[in-house]
Structure 1
Amino acid sequence: MSVLQLAERTGLAANTIKRALAPNGPAPINVANAKLLTATLTAAGVTFLPAEGDLGSGARLTDASAEPFTRRRRKGGANRDQGE
Structure 2
Amino acid sequence: WKETTRRDLTSVVQTLLPQMQEKFQTVSDQIIGRTDDTSSRIDDLEKNIADLMTQGGVEELEGENKIPPHRSGGHLKEGGIFAG
Bucket of the pairwise TM-score, normalised by the shorter protein: under 0.3
Q: Which has the higher strand share?
A: 1
Bigger RCO of structures 1 and 2 (CA < 8 A, at least 6 apart): 1
Structure (1 or 2) with the larger CA radius of gyration: 2
Under a length normalisation based on structure 1, what TM-score does the superposition of the two structures give? 0.26
